[in-house]
Structure 1
Amino acid sequence: MKAEGFYAINNEFLMNGPKGFQEYKMLENDIMFVRMDFPGVPEDSVSVTLEPSKKLVTVSADAPRVHRHDSSHRKYLMITGLVCSCCEISGFTYQMAHGVLRLHLSKTNIVDPLLPSCNSFLGDLRGCHCPHRLPYNRNPYDSSLTGPVLMPHPNVCEGAAMAYESKQIQNGGLYVRLDMPGVPKDNFNVSVSRGRVKVTGQASAVSHDSDGRFYSGDVAMLSAPVDVPSRRIKTIIKNGCIRLIIPTV
Structure 2
Amino acid sequence: MAMAVPLSTPPQSPAEGFYAINNQFLTSGPKGFTEFKMLVNEDMFVRMDLPGVPEEGVRVFLDRSKKAVIVYAEAPKVHTHDSTDRTYLTITGLICKCCEISNITTHMSDGVLRLLLSKSPIDPHRSSCIDLRGTGPHRFPHGTDPNDPALTGPVLQPHPMAFPLTTMAYESKQLPDGKLYVRVDMPGVPSDNLTVSVTNGRVKVTGEAPAVGHDSSGRFYSGDVAMLSTPVDIPSHRIETIAKNGVIRLVIPPF
- Which residue, out of 17, 21, 31, partners 2:29? 17
Alignment partners' CA distance in 2, 1:188 and 1:51? 38
- Correspondence 1:162 to 2:168: yes
**CA-CA distance at 1:161 after TM superposition:** 1.4
Taking only the aligned residue pairs, the percentage that are identical comes to 62
Residue in structure 1 matched with residue 159 of structure 2 by the alignment = 153
Residue in structure 2 matched with residue 239 of structure 1 by the alignment = 245
Distance change (3 Å), C-alpha of 1:97 and 1:27 = same
Alignment partners' CA distance in 1, 2:42 and 2:99? 10
**CA-CA distance at 1:160 after TM superposition:** 5.4
Alignment partners' CA distance in 2, 1:90 and 1:122? 19
Map of 1:83-98 to 2, 5 A cutoff?
Answer: 83-98=95-110
Higher relative contact order (Cα pairs below 8 Å, separated by 6+ residues): 2
TM-score, normalising length from structure 1?
0.92
- Correspondence 1:2 to 2:2: no
In structure 2, stretches of 5+ residues that fail to align are 1-7, 12-16, 132-136
Deviates more, 1:2-11 or 1:177-186: 2-11
Alignment partners' CA distance in 1, 2:24 and 2:64? 39
**CA-CA distance at 1:114 after TM superposition:** 4.9
Alignment partners' CA distance in 2, 1:104 and 1:136? 20
Alignment partners' CA distance in 1, 2:68 and 2:202? 46
Deviations 1:150-202 (A, max 9, x none): 00000013365100011101111110000000000000100001110000000
TM-score, normalising length from structure 2?
0.89
- Which residue, out of 43, 47, 60, partners 1:48? 60
Residue in structure 2 matched with residue 76 of structure 1 by the alignment = 88
**CA-CA distance at 1:136 after TM superposition:** 3.6
Q: Secondary structure at the match of 2:119?
A: strand
**CA-CA distance at 1:46 after TM superposition:** 0.2
In structure 1, stretches of 5+ residues that fail to align are 124-134
Alignment partners' CA distance in 1, 2:32 and 2:213? 17
Alignment partners' CA distance in 1, 2:81 and 2:162? 19
Residue in structure 2 matched with residue 34 of structure 1 by the alignment = 46
Map of 1:139-218 to 2, 5 A cutoff?
Answer: 139-158=145-164, 161-218=167-224
Map of 1:65-144 to 2, 5 A cutoff?
Answer: 65-119=77-131, 120-121=137-138, 136-144=142-150
**Counterpart contact for 2:112–2:188, Cα < 8 Å:** yes
**Counterpart contact for 1:74–1:160, Cα < 8 Å:** no
Distance change (3 Å), C-alpha of 1:41 and 1:180 = same
Alignment partners' CA distance in 2, 1:156 and 1:76? 4
**CA-CA distance at 1:82 after TM superposition:** 1.4
Deviations 1:19-76 (A, max 9, x none): 0000000002220000000000000000000011101100010000001111100000
The letter for the 2-side match of 1:121 is H
The alignment of Structure 1 onto Structure 2 pairs a total of residues equal to 238
Alignment partners' CA distance in 1, 2:45 and 2:138? 10
- Which residue, out of 71, 77, 81, partners 1:59? 71
Alignment partners' CA distance in 2, 1:8 and 1:56? 27
**Counterpart contact for 1:72–1:159, Cα < 8 Å:** no
Q: Secondary structure at the match of 1:186?
A: coil
Q: Secondary structure at the match of 2:192?
A: helix
Cα RMSD of the aligned pairs, angstroms, is 1.5
